[in-house]
Every structure is written in C-alpha cells, then in structure tokens.
Amino acid sequence: MNPLLRGLYFVTPEAAPGRTELVAAALRGGARIVQYRDKSGDAERRLTEARVIAEHCRTAGALFLVNDDVELCLAVSADGVHLGEDDAGVADARARLGPGALIGASCYNDLQRAHAAADAGADYVAFGSVYPSPTKPNARRADFDLLRRAQRELDIPICAIGGITPENAAPVVAAGADMIAVIQGISEDPDPEAASRRLQSLFTEQ
C-alpha cells in the first residue's frame, strides 16, 4: 500500500469563501491529503484557487488531488484526481495522467465496484456516507461492516467519507479506514486547525 495515503483527507467545500485559508488551516492541523472540489463553471477561478492550494500542499508536504477534472490536475501539476461514478473511468484517467499519478475512486456502498476500481488501477477507493451527511443528505450509506470487509479483501488503501467529525471519527478509523475524508467537520468548525489536529491525531496515536 502507498504509505502516503493515510490520515486526514480534507475535501474543500463547494464554492465557499476563504477556501484557500481553510486549506492552510487544515494543513497546519496535520491534514495529509487535500482534494479540491468545485463543480462550478468558473474555469479561471478554479485554476487560480487550485494553483494556490497546490502550493500550500507542496509547502506542507501533503498530497493534492483534484475532484473529477483531469485537465485541471495537469494544469496545476496536482498529484492526482478523485473520480465519481459519473466521471471518466480509472483506466482513461491513468492513460491521460501517466503511471505516477494518484487516482481515487468513489465506491459508495458497493464493494464490487471497489474491486473493479482496484483492478483498473485505482490507488485507493472511498466508501460513504458512513454517517448522515449534511453535504449530501441523500447519499448512500456505507456501514462499518463494509469498511471491515473492504480492508480484508482489498490491497489498496480505503477512505471513508460522510458526516465525519472530530467527535465521531474514532470508530471509523477503528473499522479499518486508512483515510478519513472530512468537509464540514473542518470547514464549519470555529477552529478548523484544531479540528484537523484532533482528526489527524487518530492516526498518529496508533
């Protein structure tokens, strides 16, 4: 397994003001991976923000991934992309980005989909929502049994996402998540740096 794919994984909130400052705070708190997620059509703003966040990640020694957008990943020299079910396939992204890029795949609550993604060359898979998610209230749910099964059956790291906060993250890590992807548990916290530190400590204490 890739040892870099472990720990707190901060996903930027959609089109929120101050996203670059949020990323900086999460990185100061110990976040190891950052995903830039922005579905808007404002290409210029997305490019500018992604460049700033990429530099923050490089300075902190953290990984920087772009949600869905292979071209933006290339434009800002990101470490890789994260793909959902409606995005380009893992094999297509690999062909465009090359063997050194990191590619993650959302697998929701579907272990078969995770096996297929791994076989196609994904570097990690993500399951969720593990808790009710304020970001995606109608998201499919992935329980702890699924995380434990995935940990047993897959040879790549597992990320858990959905409703994770500093208060409820410990059982997710105990169930086998190599990474915990957090959005509002950091972005909506009065002290995002402290929230990040609490979340990352679940991995450093092991």
Cite the active site residues: 37, 106, 136
Alpha-carbon torsion, ordered 165, 166, 172, 176, to 10 deg: 130
Cα→Cα distances 130→100, 108, 140, 146, Å: 30, 9, 9, 10
Instruction: State how beta strands 7-11 and 158-161 pair.
Output: unpaired
Shortest CA distance to 97 belongs to which of 119, 73, 128, 118? Answer: 73
Tokens of 174: 């105990």
| Amino acid identity, position 88 | A
Beta bridge partners of 35: 11, 65
Helix (H) / strand (E) containing 119: helix 111-120
Are 159 and 104 a contacting pair, CB within 8 Å? Answer: yes
Compute the distance between CA of residue 15 and CA of residue 21 in angstroms, rounded to an integer: 13
